[in-house]
Structure formats: C-alpha cells, structure tokens
Amino acid sequence: MPGPGADPGTPAWLRDSSPLRGNVPAPGDTPLRGDVPPPGNVRLRSDAWLRGDDEVAMAHRVAFASAGLAVSRAGGRPVIGIANSASELNPCNLPLRALAEAVRRGVEEAGGIPAEFGTISLGEDLMKPTAMLYRNLLAIEIEEMIRANPLDGIVILANCDKSVPGAIMGAASAGIPTVVVTGGARPAAVFRGRRIGTGTALWRLWDERRAGRLGDDGWRDLEACLACGTGACNTMGTASTVALLAEALGLMMPGSSTIPAGDPRGLAAAAEAGRCAVAAVHEGRRPAAILSPAAFANAIRVLHAIGGSTNAVIHLAAIAGRAGVPLPLDDLARLGARVPVLADVQPSGDGLMQDFDAAGGLPALLKELSGLLDGSAVTVCGLTTGEIAAAAPAASGVIRPTSNPLRTDGAFAVVHGSLAPDGAIIKTSAATPGLLRHRGPALVFHGYQDMRRRVDDPALPVTADSVLVLAGCGPVGGPGMPEWGMIPIPAKLATAGVTDMVRVTDARMSGTSFGTVVLHAAPEAAIGGPLALVADGDMICLDAAAGSISLDVPGEEIARRRARWTPPVSGHLRGWPALYREHVLQAPQGCDLDFLRAPTAAHRRFVEPVVGRS
C-alpha cells in the first residue's frame, strides 16, 4: 500500500512504504517513472523472430511454447532476457537464484515475456589464477547471447566482483535496454566477540598469524566463523563497489545496490527491476543514453566518496571503452581531487556494508555529494541522478556528512614516471600517510611463486625502508592480472611490528585489501615495461601528492638491462588464455580485448543476425 501522502499512481519503489531508497513520490506528473506504459508502436527486436505466418516464425514460436512461454504470432510483447550467474561454485552469486524468480514475476506483471538463461559465474574464491581472466569472456557471452536470440531487453543478475562489470560490458555493446540486479552482501561474521569484515579481517589476521600472534586454535576458529552465508563481501570490496557504481551509472533501481543478501527488500527490488525492464523497452531507454560522460564522471566521484576498490578503476575504463566515452586514467585524479571520502566502511573505515545500507544507501550518499555531481544524468528508471538525490533521505551513520569526512581529497592518487610511464594508482584512503612520500631500495620478486617462496625467508635482505616490487603479474603476465599486489610484509619485519611498507606491482589487489601499494603499473613487465628492469637495491621514489613514481637508475644502465631482457615464454599455446594474452590491453584501457572496444560510432553499431532457418 502507498505510504502516507503518496500518490497511488507513483511507482512502488518511489513510495514512502517502499523497501527501496527513493522513498518519496515522483515530482509532478512526470510520466513513466519506472511504471509500465501501455504498449505503443515500438518496434520490438523480437518481432523479427516471432511475427508472421511462415515456417521460420512458427518454429520460433514453437520453441517458446515448448519452454512454457506463451507468444503470439502478432508479436508486441517484449521478451526480456534474465541473465542469471548463480552457481554453487560461487557463493557470492547464490542469492541470485531467488531473485531470478522475482524478476520473472515483475516482467510478467508488466506484460513482458521473461526468458531466463545461465551465464558464466565469475567467483573470486575458487577461480584461478583469477576471475579477471574471464571477465571479457563473460562480456562476449552476454553480447552474443543477445545478438543471437530474440531479446528486447535484459535484466542482469550478478553479484561477485567481475560478474557485474563483465555483464554490463556485454550489454552495453549489444545496446538493448538493460537493468542490473545484484545479490547483496553476506552477513557479518563474529570473531572473538567482534564483527569482522569479509576479506579485510582475513588479511589482517593472516599477518597476525605470520607474526606469531594468532595460534592454531584461533586460526581454526576464524575459518569457522567466516563461513557465515552467501552473498558478496560485506566490506567495501570490489563486489560492493561495482554494485554501487552500477547504480551510480544509472543501471539499477535506486537504493537497491546495498540491500543485504537474503533481505526481503531484495525480492521487491528484483520484481521492480523486471517491470522497469519492460518499461525501458517501451520507452527506448538504452545504455547508449544512460552511459554518458556525465554518468561516468558521477561514478568516478562516487568511487572516491565510498573509498571503493581499485579494481573498479579498471572496470569503469572497460565499460567506457564499450560505450565510446573517453575515460583516461588521469580523470581518476582530476575528477576526485575535491571529493571527500564519506563512507566509513572497511577497509578505509570501520563499518560494514549492512551499516552503509542502513545509513541510506547510495541515494543518501548522492544527496551529500549533490554539489559535486551532474544531476542531469539519466537512469534506466526514468529519473535523473539529481531527482534521486533530492528524494533521498539524509545520510546518517557510516555515511558521513561532507563537513566531517574521512578524507577531503579523494581516495586515490594516480602516479606517473619512469617506473610507470602510462600510469599506476594507489588507494590513499587505505594507505599509511607517512609512506605516501618515500624513497627506498627495491627488493624484487619475479612473479607470485617467487614471492611466496622467499617472502618469509629469515635471510631476506629487507628493511622497513625497502620497496617491495612484484613484477610479471599484469594482464599478459598473470595472465589476467591476479590480485597478488598486496605483497605480505616479510615475516622478519612482521614479527618486529612492521605493518606496512611501500609496494609496487603490475598486479591488482582485492578491494578488501589495504596498505601503501602502487598498483596496475603500466606498461606491465611481461611486455617490457620498466618494472621488468628493476633490480634489487635500485632506489625507487614515490610521491603520491605530486603524482610521481620513479626509478632512480641512470639511463645508460636501463638501456643495458633492456638489451639483455627477453620476454617471458607462456605455456598457453592454445585456448582462451592464449587468445586473451594476445589481445588484452593494459590497465589504463580497462584490460579489455583490443577487438572488443568501440572507439567510433561505426564500431558501436550492433550488427543484427539474419533471422531465418537456423
């Protein structure tokens, strides 16, 4: 029922009683604010398959009928794909099973035809060397499933880190109306009487164990308590970050990105997403109109304000590359320079994602940031970002006011220099301030296995002033740029009380991680980037405020090393990893494959299939 004073015609997700966050009536009598318009003269893509009386159209209708889906030879009802990435190999995405049924219900209530299909499920826990290796494969799958099938719109069901951006990339390339539904964060674990966050607590307590301060019993207790349910990491890790950014870009129902896993509000949000997808088809609300320069600028500012995952920088660049929106790495620093960090959520702060949701979710954050955002950016539900912010509740709890931020100058720094000519990034909000300007001798690890083998060697020639370097772990070198960048503090230093050091790598790190880590150094070592030429003892100079990272070695010596350097030989001679290594771009270009980006309007033209006998 509508809340007090609500217009009964107001879309459910805008009513005062709504389980979502945009909890006021739509302003004025603006039409179609997410509600379902009557079918008009919209030309449906699916009509090419389903309309007509010939043998081809009949065969297509028989296929639908055989699956229990009623279609008419006259067409006219939008077919909405439900791309479901739930999998028992990925507990992060398991909440999507129940949400898929709610989406189906919403599509049917709005007069559409739901058609669910499974997708690759990209889970961080089990996929090796990294789910990032397969993000672009998911994007291809989504785009080609849309191309090959009679879909007018799509609802993406995704949750874990790479599932959300990969699916958005594919849908953006296909260009049909798209709504994203995420599964939410898992419950908080309790360890020794304290709530702990997924990922962040594990890394901290692993350091405690390596330093001899956590015994076997405590380690086993930690393992038991961390198995606390399905859903995404409940810190501001990559999954929570990209969900918030999907909402900030305008592809989700307002306020839905932070609903915890298992919360009944998630079912209501999923049903509304199904209804919204049908409305978006009728109204022509496509990704090309939503994924605008204004939307990406807003997303970058939100990324700073939430102290989000560094991985999201790569994902935003990849999505922008599909949408044809220029998004150079330096925009991360330029757009975030005046943005306060407001989310007091681990690893930059103390709270968890359940607290962020209770504090008002993204709409409340948008309200706090309204003076810094472009309110004209449109969303899939029909509202602008400015209208969503104006309708939002005031922030509270872990969403701090702009007058009392965690930081005043953004969450990230971009650095360039002789060690990273094309750039690298550092999450300053999760770093040690005293290390953001540092000069120290390099200690180089050539790959993950070398690092794991030597980092705890008591004879390791390392001091607290050393700069740990991990090379050969980028997009080509990994392959897939695994989250190996948070190099452990060497055991001999950890036992002495050292908790952070400057680290430099061409790898990524988990969004739940922390420390003074320079990430995504480009070009990477595996293709001859400067990181491949660093030797033990070389002096490395970092100045995050000045945006510089340099290798203090004479040019003549660098030239001699380059003449001796040979590219690493991969064991991947065939299959997806070989194709990936041949075509993957570097981090500033989002690690997309070179043949998937769409720099011109001609590249962005979606070529429809010939619809005939298969």
Q: What is the pLDDT of residues 82-99, one digit of tens each?
A: 999 999 999 999 999 999
Give the residue-averaged pLDDT of 555-563. Answer: 97
How does the average pLDDT of the chain come out, rounded?
Answer: 93
Q: What is the Cα–Cα distance from 608 to 146, expressed in whole angstroms?
A: 10
pLDDT in tens, 321-363: 999 999 999 999 999 999 999 999 999 999 999 999 999 999 9
Three-class secondary structure assignment of 559-582: HHHHHHCCCCCCCCCCHHHHHHHH
Q: Is the pLDDT of residue 509 over 80?
A: yes
Per-residue pLDDT at 19 exceeds 70: no
pLDDT of residue 11 exceeding 50? no
Residue 446's domain is classified under what CATH number?
Answer: 3.50.30.80
pLDDT digits (tens, 9 = 90+) for 513-523: 999 999 999 99
Contact at 8 Å (CB) between 508 and 482? yes
- What is d(CA 608, CA 545) in angstroms, rounded to the nearest whole number? 49
- For residue 20, pLDDT over 60 is answered with no
Angle between helices 200-210 and 216-226 (to 10 degrees): 170
Of 2-6, 159-163, 507-511, the range with the lowest mean pLDDT is 2-6
Check if the beta carbon of residue 184 is closer than 8 Å to that of residue 198: no
Claim to verify: residue 544 and residue 427 sit in the same structural domain: yes
Rounded Cα distance between 90 and 232, Å, is 10
Which of 543, 564, 585 is the C-terminal boundary of a domain? 564
Span 185-201, pLDDT tens digits: 999 999 999 999 988 89
124 and 208 in a single domain? The answer is no
Residue 215: alpha-carbon gap to chain centroid = 35
Residues 177 and 194 in one domain: no
444 Cβ contact partners less than 8 Å away, ≥ 6 residues apart: 469, 471, 534, 535, 536
Token pair for residue 412? 């990230």
Q: Of 173, 201, 226, which residue sits at a domain end? A: 226
Q: Beta-carbon neighbour count of residue 537 at 10 Å?
A: 12
Give the amino acid at 183: G
- Give the residue from 338, 335, 324, 320 showing the smallest Cα distance to 588: 320
Is the pLDDT reported for residue 547 higher than 70? yes
What pLDDT digit, counting tens, does each position of 48-72 carry?
A: 999 999 999 999 999 999 999 989 8
Of all residues in the chain, the percent with pLDDT exceeding 70 is 93
Instruction: Report the pLDDT averaged over residues 205-211.
Output: 89
* pLDDT band of 73, cuts 50, 70, 90: confident
Instruction: Reply yes or no on whether the pLDDT at 15 is more than 60.
Output: no
Q: Quick one: how far is CA 393 from the chain centroid?
A: 25
Predicted confidence at residue 492, as pLDDT, reads 94
For residue 570, being part of any structural domain is answered with no
pTM tops 0.85:
yes
Same domain assignment for residues 157 and 207: no
> Is 533 part of a structural domain of the chain?
yes
Burial class from Cβ neighbours inside 10 Å (0-12, 13-18, 19+) for residue 175 reads middle
Does one domain contain both 180 and 209? no
Backbone φ, ψ for residue 133 (5° rounding): -60, -25
Q: Environment class of residue 437 by beta-carbon count within 10 Å: exposed (0-12), middle (13-18) or buried (19+)?
A: middle
pLDDT at 539 over 90: yes
Q: What is the pLDDT of residues 262-320, one digit of tens each?
A: 999 999 999 999 999 999 999 999 999 999 999 999 999 999 999 999 999 999 999 99
Residue 396 lies in a domain: no
Flag whether pLDDT at 6 surpasses 60: no
- What stretch of H or E contains 192? none
**Residue of higher predicted confidence among 422 and 614:** 422
String of b and e for 215-233 (b: at least 16 CB within 10 Å)? Answer: eeeeeeebeeebeebbbbb
* Residue 7 confidence (pLDDT) above 80: no
465 and 370 together in one domain: no
- What was the pLDDT predicted at 447? 96
Task: Give the number of residues written for the chain.
Answer: 614
Cα four-point dihedral sign 430, 436, 442, 446: positive
pLDDT at residue 30 greater than cutoff 50: no
Residue 580 lies in a domain: no
Distance of CA 241 to the CA centre of its chain: 6
Instruction: Please check whether residues 555 and 418 belong to one and the same domain.
Output: yes
pLDDT, average across residues 524-540: 98
Instruction: Provide the CB-side half-sphere exposure for 380 (13 A, CA).
Output: 34
Assess if residue 548 is contained within a domain: yes
User: Quick check: 501 pLDDT over 70?
Assistant: yes
DSSP-assigned letter for residue 94 = T
Q: For residue 211, what pLDDT is reported?
A: 86
Burial classification of residue 609, based on how many CB atoms lie within 10 Å of its CB (0-12 exposed, 13-18 middle, 19 or more buried): exposed
Is 3 within the bounds of a domain? no
Residue 257 is assigned to a structural domain of this protein? yes
Cα-Cα-Cα-Cα dihedral sign, residues 586, 589, 590, 594: negative
SS3 state at 74: coil
- Is 408 exposed, middle or buried, given 0-12, 13-18 or 19+ CB atoms closer than 10 A? exposed
Count the neighbouring beta carbons within 10 Å of the beta carbon of residue 377. 23
How many folded domains does the chain comprise? Answer: 3
Which pLDDT tens digit goes with each residue over 576-603?
Answer: 999 999 999 999 999 999 999 999 999 9
Asked if residue 436 and residue 536 are part of one domain, the reply reads yes
Q: Are 306 and 241 in contact (CB under 8 A)?
A: yes
102-113 in b/e burial notation, b at 16+ Cβ within 10 A? bbbbbbbebbbb
User: What average pLDDT does this structure show over 536-548?
Assistant: 98
* Contact residues for 601 (Cβ-Cβ < 8 A; gap 6+): 324
Q: What is the residue-wise DSSP string for 477-540?
A: TTTS--S--SPPPPHHHHTTT-----EEESS---TT--SSEEEEEES-GGGT-GGGG--TT-EE
The helices-and-strands tally (H runs, E runs) of the chain is 21, 14
One domain for residues 492 and 558 = yes
What is the DSSP pairing of strand 412-417 with strand 189-191? Answer: unpaired
Confidence band of 22 (pLDDT split at 50, 70, 90): very low
Which pLDDT band holds residue 40 (cuts at 50, 70, 90)?
low
Is the residue at 399 inside a domain? no
Residue 158: enclosing H or E segment and its boundaries?
A: none
**In terms of domains, do 261 and 289 share one?**
yes
Residue 246 DSSP SS3: helix
Give yes or no: residues 178 and 200 share one domain. Answer: no
Q: What pLDDT was estimated at residue 70? A: 87
Q: Residue 74 pLDDT more than 70?
A: yes
Residue type, 612: G
Predicted local confidence at residue 14, as pLDDT: 44
| pLDDT tops 70 at residue 119 | yes
Confidence check: pLDDT of 444 > 80:
yes
Of the chain, the end-to-end C-alpha distance in Å amounts to 48
Strand pairing partners for 157? 84, 181
Range of the domain at 463: 412-564
User: Is 178 strand, coil or helix?
Assistant: strand
Q: Where are the beta strands (DSSP E) in 106-166?
A: 113-118, 153-157
Tell me, yes or no, whether 516 and 505 share the same domain: yes
pLDDT higher than 90, residue 4: no
Domain limit, last residue, from 329, 356, 391: 391
